């Protein structure tokens, strides 16, 4: 049994390890190990396309994770206090957002927004003052952030709601019995208790957005995110440079994710 478990862990981690090992390859060929060096990391970090893509990915991930954590937490708190049709509708929306395959979300966002922009652009042009160049809505960083935020918001709502449901209601009741204002109760009682969940939601959202390929592939317009760059490089062939980028991305997300996991598990363990 134990040996079996070790085998599965090896299966899970050997491919990651191989990528990491070969990223330190001194040789020019991707699959022949010829001494160790960090030169491919240097190459990758000097490549302006990589740095551009990285910058786009980080910006998109940060903004969407912030928006999703804020709006998602707000919605989760509101949903905690209500019953009836509004709650059912939100439950359904979250369910749809999570269940529909990412590829369908990507496609739908692409054709939905293009159609919407086709309607809005002439309207904007007429509203704009004579002489000035009217703004033109198109697919790009904005649509990418909007699409990611939608999906991540559903994720944050699920995580924060789970935490709120596990919270002792008596605490907020006691707080209002003691004449705390609703905001005071929120600030001093609810927020500190759900904070680990919100932070975990933020970290997960950030990683999700940063790693997302399929939605970005459809929605990013002419922007290139890091996963899009990696995908098109893989199409051209396996290079040590991709190994280096891959190792960096995996290492960064592993750190973020383990932090998120520990936060969530720490938050769950409540004294009884």
Nearer to another protein among residue 45 and residue 253 (C-beta): 253
Separate counts of helices (H) and strands (E) for the chain: 12, 0
Task: List b or e across 14-42, with b for residues whose CB sees 16 or more CB atoms inside 10 angstroms.
Answer: eeeeebbebbbbeeeebeeeeeeeeebbe
Closest approach of another protein to the CB of residue 5, in Å = 5
Contact 27, 196 (CB under 8 A): no
User: Which residue carries 């040789």 as its tokens?
Assistant: 27
Rg (CA), the chain: 23
Nearer to another protein among residue 44 and residue 110 (C-beta): 110
Closest approach of another protein to the CB of residue 132, in Å = 27
Closest approach of another protein to the CB of residue 51, in Å = 18
Nearer to another protein among residue 62 and residue 213 (C-beta): 213
Q: What are phi and psi of 102, to 5 degrees?
A: -55, -35
Closest approach of another protein to the CB of residue 21, in Å = 11
For 118, other C-beta atoms within 10 Å of its C-beta total 10
User: What are residue 223's DSSP bridge partners?
Assistant: none
Closest approach of another protein to the CB of residue 64, in Å = 11
Contact 41, 248 (CB under 8 A): yes
Contact 1, 8 (CB under 8 A): no
CA pair distance 28, 40, nearest whole angstrom: 9
Nearer to another protein among residue 223 and residue 227 (C-beta): 227
Closest approach of another protein to the CB of residue 129, in Å = 27
3-state SS, residue 36: strand
Closest approach of another protein to the CB of residue 156, in Å = 9
Nearer to another protein among residue 93 and residue 193 (C-beta): 93
> Hey, what are 78's tokens?
């509101």
> Hey, what are 82's tokens?
């209500």
Nearer to another protein among residue 59 and residue 74 (C-beta): 74
Nearer to another protein among residue 62 and residue 71 (C-beta): 71
């Amino acid at each position: 049994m134990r040996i079996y478990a070790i085998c599965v862990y090896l299966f899970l981690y050997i491919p990651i390890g191989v990528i990491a090992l070969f990223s330190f390859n001194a040789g020019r060929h991707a699959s022949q190990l010829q001494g160790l060096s960090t030169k491919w990391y240097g190459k990758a970090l000097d490549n302006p396309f990589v740095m551009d893509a990285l910058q786009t990915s980080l910006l998109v991930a940060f903004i969407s994770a912030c928006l999703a954590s804020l709006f998602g937490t707000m919605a989760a708190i509101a949903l905690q206090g209500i019953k009836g049709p509004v709650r059912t509708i939100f439950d359904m929306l979250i369910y749809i957002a999570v269940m529909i395959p990412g590829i369908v979300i990507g496609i739908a966002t692409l054709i939905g927004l293009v159609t919407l922009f086709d309607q809005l652009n002439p309207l904007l042009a007429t509203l704009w003052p004579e002489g000035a160049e009217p703004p033109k809505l198109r697919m790009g960083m904005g649509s990418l952030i909007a699409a990611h935020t939608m999906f991540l918001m559903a994720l944050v709502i699920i995580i924060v709601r789970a935490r709120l449901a596990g919270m002792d209601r008596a605490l907020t009741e006691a707080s209002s019995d003691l004449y705390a204002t609703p905001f005071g109760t929120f600030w001093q009682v609810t927020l500190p208790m759900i904070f680990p969940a919100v932070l975990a939601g933020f970290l997960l959202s950030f990683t999700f957005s940063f790693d997302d390929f399929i939605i970005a592939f459809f929605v990013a317009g002419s922007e290139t995110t890091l996963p899009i760059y990696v995908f098109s490089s893989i199409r051209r062939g396996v290079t040590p440079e991709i190994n280096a980028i891959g190792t960096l991305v995996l290492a960064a997300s592993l750190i973020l994710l383990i932090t998120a996991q520990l936060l969530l598990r720490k938050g769950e363990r409540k004294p009884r």
